[in-house]
Amino acid sequence: MAPRNSVPLEEAVVEFVRKSEEAVLEVGRKWAAAVDEFMPVEVPLVQDLRKQVFDLVEELLKMQRDFAEKMLAQTRKAVVGTTKPAPVQAPKKRVHKAA
């Protein structure tokens, strides 16, 4: 049974994705502001900017996927490594001493 204050996994994932998207958008805003300072008045077309943002997000997603796959692989190794059956030892023979 899950604790009362736990958030279902799907809600946690959705919240994580939402926060990640907000962070990426903030990076995009800062990047656009920085580029705006160095570029002449003419700014790239919206389509070009959109392509650049999607390329950036795609690269970030690839990095996150790679990280998640590595983390799961390492976790799997750790779990499998700790669940090996204990070596079976033959029971010791008891010697009954005559009284």
pLDDT for res 3: 54
Region 71-93: mean pLDDT is 73
Q: Is the pLDDT of residue 94 over 60?
A: yes
Q: Is the pLDDT of residue 74 over 70?
A: yes
Q: Considering the entire predicted model, what is its pTM?
A: 0.39
Region 37-49: mean pLDDT is 66
DSSP string of 4-65? TTPPPHHHHHHHHHHHHHHHHHHHHHHHHHHHHHHS-S----HHHHHHHHHHHHHHHHHHHH
